[in-house]
Amino acid sequence: MEKKQDEVVDYYDTIAATYDDSRFGNSYGRFIDAEERRVMDRLIDVNAEELRLDMACGTGRLTNYATHGLDASDEMMKPAKERHPSVVFTQASAADTGFPDGMFDVVYSFHLLMHLPEATVGEIFKEACRILKPGGRFIMDIPSKKRRQLFHHKQESWHGGTQMTVSEVAQMAAEASLTVNRTFGILMLPVHRMPERMRKPLLKFDAWLANGWLKQYSSYIVCELVKH
């Protein structure tokens, strides 16, 4: 089931006040957050003199890596503005940011593309490329289609409904003048089915598994795309 962008924004407007606690205030959410930060720490030097955009920054969970934040939901950005007073925030669609051509060195986006139709994802790839400098990087995540096919996943709503393989990401990237440079896996073990006391001790092991030869069967794939 596909959801229009304005309907997605309306949904997040309504849950903005409880989003952090409900999604990342538990041991499962903290597990995912830790793995994503492990990848971001490899990809981004926060001390580098460059402009970095957190596209669909939401409440600002990962905006500490950015100089600029963008989200279509003003309600979601309110906590982000409080958390990161030095960051420049803009309310706009990820598919039509309004930024000048070639403004950013890095654009990154987590937990956005999975909620949108593939045609819109393609538009966002092109917009990211447009606002990147030559050689700039677009870092994005997407649920792994290979994993979902392996476990016969049945999608029941638009939430997290879009899935792709790395090959499909590469094809869409090429259409936007982007090239896949590196990929990373997030969440290999079924952590949500494990007792809470086991989750944190398994973090390093899971990150190791998710970035081994079975990487494309991780729950999520993070791709670093480079502008031609």
Q: In what order do the strands lie in the sheet with 52-55?
A: 88-91, 68-71, 52-55, 104-109, 132-143, 220-227, 178-186
- Please state, as a whole number, how many other Cβ atoms lie within 10 Å of the Cβ of residue 34: 15
Query: In degrees rounded to 5, what are phi and psi of residue 162?
Result: -90, 130
User: What is d(CA 209, CA 188) in angstroms, rounded to the nearest whole number?
Assistant: 6
Q: CATH code at 98?
A: 3.40.50.150
Q: Residue 2's pLDDT is what?
A: 45
Amino acid 152 reads: H
Q: Are 175 and 122 in contact (CB under 8 A)?
A: yes
Q: What is the DSSP letter of 188?
A: -
Domain that holds residue 153: 5-227
Three-class DSSP category at 54: strand
Q: Per-residue confidence of the chain (228 residues) as pLDDT tens digits?
A: 444 567 788 888 899 889 989 999 999 999 999 999 999 999 999 999 999 999 999 999 999 999 999 999 999 999 999 999 999 999 999 999 999 999 999 999 999 999 999 999 999 999 999 999 999 999 999 999 999 999 877 776 667 789 999 999 999 999 999 999 999 999 999 998 899 999 999 999 999 999 999 999 999 999 999 998
Confirm whether pTM is higher than 0.85. Answer: yes
Number of domains present in the structure of the chain: 1
Single out the residue of 175, 105, 116 nearest to residue 141, CA to CA. 116
User: What is d(CA 151, CA 147) in angstroms, rounded to the nearest whole number?
Assistant: 6
How is residue 180 written in tokens? 């896949």
67-80 CB burial, b ≥16 within 10 A, e <16 = bbbbbbbebbbebb
Q: Are 5 and 92 in contact (CB under 8 A)?
A: no
Single out the residue of 125, 171, 127, 124 nearest to residue 145, CA to CA. 171
Q: Residue 1's pLDDT is what?
A: 41
Single out the residue of 52, 69, 57 nearest to residue 12, CA to CA. 57
Q: Which residues, in sequence order, are CB contacts of 72 under 8 Å at separation 6+? A: 5, 8, 9, 56, 91, 92, 93, 94
Query: In degrees rounded to 5, what are phi and psi of residue 55?
Result: -85, 125
221 strand-pairing partners: 142, 185
